[in-house]
């Protein structure tokens, strides 16, 4: 198939899923065209079967807000026409599904190209496009409209599919295709761990990790609170991977607790598959997670997560089996849970193995990518005229 993919190309779960999906589809022989504002950060630019089309938004003194959505719609239509794309797959509803709708309508009309073409588009909902941004009164009607007009809609968890039906009154089909991880790339390689771990923790210390875009919804301050409590009892270090609005507040809190020297603020990192396996436990105390891709990536590396019982997280983490679940903001219970687990090596080992097994058995690329291929075919068959 010839597939156009649009996503936010910078750091963030939806962009990661879109990029990894493109890479996996290309490896299976599909031609994948990324139509994005810059090259997605997990692409090297050297992958076979992957093409990148930059959306450039020209500015003009009159434009207080450069019209990215229109430039994107135009580029989508041009690329679809020139490369005879079979479909577009957009990740994150706002504004990508609206641009795709426009592109699809442009291609169906005589005014754009001599040959009218049918270009179905699929919208994948990731979370904040529905739960936060999409519910903003200024975005809700257009988001609902573009979702309803999509030729296919997928959601990354059952929770998000239900939430979309409730909040937007969507009655059409929403296919649940959960997030995935490449279990060969995300895996603990003992030699690499032995080489890299001493940079972050000594042999007698426990190592925690948190990975996010440091937005309020991630509750990074709770990560520091949990870690500070653990560090009072057990020799420990913390790797904070990512950057965003709450980073400086996290730094101040670390100073207040006197744990600043025990925390590695690593900023944005490309090689998270090499960093995650170094840790013992992940901390993901989010206010909301429609899925929790960061936890899945850690679990594939045998690193269970201490997480909150929110959104789609319980579809991934089974409490006391492959991780631990807590109520939002209960940092004391999270710290106590982590300490108790780390003091019981057999229980910790069993949980680490269960985490890896969950990733392999339920969320591996080999299991999930065919679901996308089948869904693409279904949408194409339905829309063949």
By CB under 6 A, residue 12 contacts ligand GMT:
yes
Distance between CA atoms of residues 51 and 53, nearest Å: 7
By CB under 6 A, residue 14 contacts ligand GMT:
yes
Sign of CA dihedral 314, 239, 241, 133: positive
Binding string, residues 143-162; x marks residues near ligand GMT by CB under 6 A? -------------x------
**Segment near ligand GMT (CB under 6 A), from 14-22, 50-58, 201-209, 233-241?**
14-22
Distance between CA atoms of residues 161 and 174, nearest Å: 6
β-strand pairing of 152-155 with 323-326: unpaired
Tokens of 262: 């025990």
Within residues 61-120, the interface with ligand GMT by CB under 6 A covers 92
Taking the complex as a whole, the smallest distance from the CB of residue 17 to ligand GMT amounts, in Å, to: 5
Within residues 165-194, the interface with ligand GMT by CB under 6 A covers 179
Query: In the complex with ligand GMT, which residue's Cβ is closer, 230 or 307?
Result: 307
Taking the complex as a whole, the smallest distance from the CB of residue 325 to ligand GMT amounts, in Å, to: 15
Query: In the complex with ligand GMT, which residue's Cβ is closer, 7 or 379?
Result: 7
By CB under 6 A, residue 337 contacts ligand GMT:
no
Query: In the complex with ligand GMT, which residue's Cβ is closer, 319 or 349?
Result: 319
Contacting residue, 4, 95, 277, 292, with ligand GMT by CB under 6 A: 292
Distance between CA atoms of residues 76 and 53, nearest Å: 9
By CB under 6 A, residue 17 contacts ligand GMT:
yes
By CB under 6 A, residue 291 contacts ligand GMT:
yes
Tell me which residue of 20, 50, 13, 16 sits closest to 35, measured CA to CA. 50
Query: In the complex with ligand GMT, which residue's Cβ is closer, 81 or 297?
Result: 297
**Which of helix, strand or coil describes residue 264?**
strand
Distance between CA atoms of residues 140 and 142, nearest Å: 6
By CB under 6 A, residue 359 contacts ligand GMT:
no
* Range list of H helices, 28-113: 68-82, 96-107
The strand ranges marked E within 226-349 are: 236-241, 263-267, 281-284, 305-308, 323-326
**Which of helix, strand or coil describes residue 189?**
coil
Contact positions vs ligand GMT (CB under 6 A): 12-15, 17, 92, 126-128, 156, 179, 213, 215, 217, 288-293, 311
């Amino acid at each position: 198939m010839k597939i156009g993919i649009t996503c936010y190309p910078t750091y963030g779960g939806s962009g990661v899923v879109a990029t990894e999906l493109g890479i996996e589809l290309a490896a299976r022989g599909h031609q994948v065209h990324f139509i994005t504002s810059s090259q997605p950060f997990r692409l090297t630019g050297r992958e076979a079967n992957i093409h990148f089309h930059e959306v450039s938004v020209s500015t003009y003194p009159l434009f207080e807000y450069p019209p990215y959505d229109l430039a994107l719609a135009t580029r989508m239509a041009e690329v679809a026409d020139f490369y005879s794309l079979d479909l577009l797959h957009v990740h994150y509803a706002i504004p990508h599904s609206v641009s795709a709708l426009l592109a699809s309508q442009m291609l169906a009309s005589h005014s754009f190209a001599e040959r009218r073409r049918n270009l179905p588009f699929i919208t994948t909902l990731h979370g904040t496009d529905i739960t936060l941004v999409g519910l903003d009164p200024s975005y809700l009607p257009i988001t609902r409209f573009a979702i309803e007009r999509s030729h296919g809609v997928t959601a990354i968890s059952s929770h998000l599919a239900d939430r979309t039906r409730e909040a937007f009154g969507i009655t059409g089909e929403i296919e649940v295709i959960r997030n995935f991880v490449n279990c060969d790339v995300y895996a603990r390689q003992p030699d690499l761990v032995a080489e890299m771990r001493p940079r972050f923790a000594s042999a007698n210390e426990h190592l925690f990790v948190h990975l996010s875009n440091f937005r309020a919804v991630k509750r990074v301050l709770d990560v520091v609170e949990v870690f500070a409590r653990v560090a009072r009892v057990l020799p420990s270090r913390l790797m904070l991977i990512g950057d965003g609005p709450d980073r400086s507040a996290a730094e101040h809190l670390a100073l207040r607790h006197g744990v600043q020297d025990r925390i590695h603020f690593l900023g944005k990192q490309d090689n998270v598959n090499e960093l995650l396996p170094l840790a013992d436990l992940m901390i993901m105390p989010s206010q909301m997670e429609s899925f929790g891709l960061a936890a899945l990536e850690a679990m594939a590396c045998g690193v269970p997560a201490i997480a909150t019982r929110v959104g789609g997280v319980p579809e991934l983490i089974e409490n006391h089996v492959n991780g631990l679940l807590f109520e939002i903001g209960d940092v004391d219970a999270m710290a106590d849970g982590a300490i108790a687990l780390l003091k019981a090596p057999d229980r910790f080992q069993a949980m680490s193995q269960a985490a890896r097994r969950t990733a392999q058995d339920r969320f591996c690329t080999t299991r999930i990518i065919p679901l996308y291929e089948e869904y693409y075919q279904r949408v194409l068959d339905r829309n063949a005229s």
